[in-house]
Structure 1
Amino acid sequence: MSEIQAPKEIFQRLEADVVDQRVALEQISVALYKHLSDIKVGNIMLIGNSGTGKTTIMRAIERMFESNIGLGSFLNTIRLNANIVSNDESTETESSVIVERLHQNALKIMGDHPDPERFRQLMEHSVVFLDEVDKIRAYVGDKANPRGILAQEALLTLIEGEGISRPLTVKNADGTLVQHKVHIDTGRILFICGGAFEGLYDMVYRRVASGETKDKLIQEYVVAETQEDMEQKEHFSLHDYVRYEDMFDYGMTPQFLGRFDEVIVLNDLTIKGLMRIFIEPHNSLFREARRYFRSLGIELQVSKEGVREIAETAYDNHRLGARALRMVFKRVMRGIEFDPHTNYLVKDQGAKKVLTITREMVQRYS
């Protein structure tokens, strides 16, 4: 085990990169802590619209492993699109796509010093992130989806924990090559699957609003035009209402979904969250832009009003989530990046060149 002593420490590391997803990160941190402690842990299913942070979460996990010297046996992480897993009609081939990727990645990590025990650890301690898992649903509408059924069956075999043997060639001290057969328990691999699950929101809302189940829509009171006027407003959050039965109806088979301990719904991003994403993460758009302008001898700044305007404009394209930030910011910076010295620069008292992105600039160029 590493120097990480509690799930809260994992949460703090992930939160540096992932904004506005506190509840999801808490659940993921517990699962990762169990995985690092070699305690049996169920897998994780993430539900979230495009741009809400599914891929960002996986990248944050990768960075945590890479930056912690005590987590050397957990470096084997891969990201795959679920459609790649379901490309072949052979279930054996489908499951081996993941195993082969993990195998090759483990060899790359070990480099010129392959070792059977380290190889086993890298394989069994790996984390597999499958994106767009909603695309391998067992049926779409009233029609069966054979590829989805095959993919779920193949993944189920792997997730349940099949024992496999993988070849590893090791060079002895005398230069001779010896091939080992290393036994791998795939049941120790942690799977994090994610998808947008388009249509699930409407499907669950219809179920709850129908009144045919025990779930009832939450009614909350909000202030209308005056303090004396109050009106009732329905509150619906997919996180509060989604059930395993809804996932079955969507097309995820009970056998497959039964291997996931957590079904986590990511929050849709707020304007405040988009503002933080634009500024705070180590690889944020703003930090990237600052590095670029520093190479030109210019200090890039942005006013608080400018950040809010970028976030508000991106929020209008909510289906893109955080990706809308890049679209908006690139429109603003297109001409400025090419020729920042024309009409944009001011000098401070130290004669340092400063470029400040204001609300007016965002409105003008976005």
Structure 2
Amino acid sequence: MPDQNNNNEFEEQKEEVEKVETSGVESTKEDSDDDYEKICFICRRPESVAGKMIELPNHICVCNDCMQKSFDAMNSGQIDYSQLMNMPGVQVMNMADLENMIPKQQKVKKKKEGEERTPLVDINNLPAPHKIKAKLDEYVVGQEYAKKAMSVAVYNHYKRVATDTMDDIEIEKSNMLMIGPTGSGKTYLVKTLARILDVPLAITDATSLTEAGYIGDDIESVVSKLLAAADNDVEKAEQGIIFIDEIDKIAKKKNSSQRDVSGESVQQGMLKLLEGSDVEVPVGANSKNAMVPLTTINTKNILFICGGAFPDLENIIKERLTKQSSIGFGADLKDRFNGDKDLLSKVTTEDLRSFGMIPEFLGRLPIVFTLKGLDKDMYIKILKEPKNAILKQYQKLLALDEVDLEFDEGALEAIAEKAMKKDTGARALRAIIEEFMLDIMYEIPKDDSIGRVVITKAYIEGNGGPVITLRGQDVPRLS
């Protein structure tokens, strides 16, 4: 009997502990959900739009409008719901299955009542332009003018956001347009800039954007990606950076008989975003539909940076520069600008209009600057100088195997020459090194006696192999 009583007491204590544990899990879940707005399970509108929600079991919420419509449909319908349960083939809906129907990425963070809007970048801690440029110098080789222009534009923009135009003088946005050949570092510059300032960044491609109603991404999806990058926090997203790459692909099509749904019309649709306005954006999706909640974002303080390679723009610049008389002693030779590497830096708004960009769009991108194409010396610097240079990455990988990796100067020059032939910018360097490092990365873990590997010019040119030194020996061994 005493044993039975002890067992009963033990079972009761166990049940109490389980109740406490489950209630703790539920309270933790409720606390985590408190930071996000409730969303109507039927119409998918957030609480800030639809009003107070009616909470059902299993964390399901329904707005007053949808609940009323449901009651009206049940009262006025021809179906006898009391007989529905007894009909053959009818399954009872399990409410627990509906709990996770609305994914977390479609929930918007609440705006806390009574709390003042705080700028994402504090004006007192905002780094000066020379400090921003110094940080960019650690990661990006060359492009001095581009880094200087970006540093000043970003500094002025976040001063504008922080002060929020406290007086009558309203500072306008400093949106940017970057023009440069592929692989010159446009995207990398923007990524580094966002990392320095610690602000949300969304990178999108203009090639996928189309006019509303056509297959492709809506223009508002650009802002939707920024909202996702800001963890669905609207206030944080309203002070972020949006980089739109391949902006030259939405240029006005010339001599096109078809409807231009991904050209001039997209430029027209983007005007309101660049200028600053309230836009309704889908949460956790690229396009608006009935099953996706919408939220409103003001783009007034979002910094837009557009970038593109603008192929054939050099020919337009060359044509403008050689429009002078071609007869007489003061005439310009037709091929005068053929070897000019800095031809892109002479670009004007008229050249961009000739390319196919509409004047209203260019007017909302007041800061235009160009990036230079890479030469041999810049390729070599990119290989070894930046903080996360490609060579440093491989040296770190092999250091984990306790092997030293070195590249001699001849090898670096040979890699740079191969990259120049590919004509794809800095991206070519990674592809070339991956090709030559494949066998080394495969073979070295096999042999624990290897202590040092030197990549030579002969190995890169295919005339020899790397120089391998064994541990504790000074005599190298040719592979």
- TM-score computed with the length of structure 2 as normaliser: 0.60
Q: Does 2:299 match 1:162? A: no
Q: State how 1:1-366 maps to structure 2 within 5 Å.
A: 1-38=123-160, 40-66=172-198, 75-86=199-210, 88-89=212-213, 94-107=218-231, 119-120=234-235, 122-140=236-254, 145-164=260-279, 184-211=297-324, 235=340, 237-317=342-422, 319-340=423-444, 353-364=451-462
Q: Shift of residue 62 of structure 1? A: 2.3
Q: Distance in 2 between matches of 1:123 and 1:304?
A: 46
Deviation (angstroms), 1:88: 4.6
SS in 2 for 1:107: coil
Say if 1:357 and 1:95 are closer, same or farther in 2 by CA, change over 3 A. same
**Alpha-carbon distance, 1:342 to partner:** 8.7
Whether the 8 Å CA contact 1:51–1:323 is kept in 2: the answer is yes
SS at match of 1:210: coil
Residue 284 of structure 1 deviates from its aligned partner by: 1.9
Alpha-carbon shift at residue 129 of structure 1 (Å):
0.2
What CA RMSD, in Å, does the superposition of the two structures yield over aligned residues? 3.3
Aligned letter for 1:20? G
The alpha carbon displacement at 1:276 in A equals 1.1
d(CA) in 2 for partners of 1:310, 1:218: 36
| Alignment match, 1:226 | none
CA distance in structure 1 between the aligned counterparts of 2:456 and 2:357, rounded to whole angstroms: 47
- Aligned partners of 1:31 and 1:41 also within 8 Å: no
Q: Contact 1:4–1:10 at 8 Å: present in 2 too?
A: no
Q: Which amino acid aligns with 1:208?
A: L
Code of the aligned partner of 2:455: I
Q: Would the alpha carbon gap of residues 320 and 2 (structure 1) be closer, same or farther in structure 2, given more than 3 Å must change?
A: farther
Cα distance between partner residues in 2 of 1:251 and 1:2: 42
Greater per-residue helix proportion: 1
Q: Which has the higher contact order (CA 8 A, sep 6+)?
A: 1
Long gaps (5+) in structure 2: 1-122, 161-170, 284-293, 465-479
User: 2: distance between equivalents of 1:308 and 1:191?
Assistant: 37
Q: Is the 8 A contact 1:34 1:40 kept in 2?
A: no
Q: Which has the higher Rg, Structure 1 or Structure 2?
A: 2
Q: 1: CA distance between counterparts of 2:371 and 2:311?
A: 13
Q: Mark the CA change 1:22 to 1:147 in structure 2 (over 3 Å): closer, same or farther.
A: same
Which shows bigger deviation, 287-296 or 143-152? Answer: 143-152
The TM-score, its normalising length taken from structure 1, stands at 0.77
1:334 alignment partner, SS class: helix
Partners of 1:148 and 1:365 in 2: CA distance: 50
Deviations 1:59-104 (A, max 9, x none): 11122123xxxxxxxx22100001223275469x723212222222
* Count of residue pairs brought into register by the alignment: 316
Deviation of the 1:167 alpha carbon? 10
Q: CA deviation at 1:295?
A: 2.1
1:228 is matched with none
Shift of 1:294: 1.4
Distance 2:338 2:245 in 1: 35
Inter-partner Cα distance in structure 1 for 2:218 and 2:281:
16
SS at match of 2:177: strand
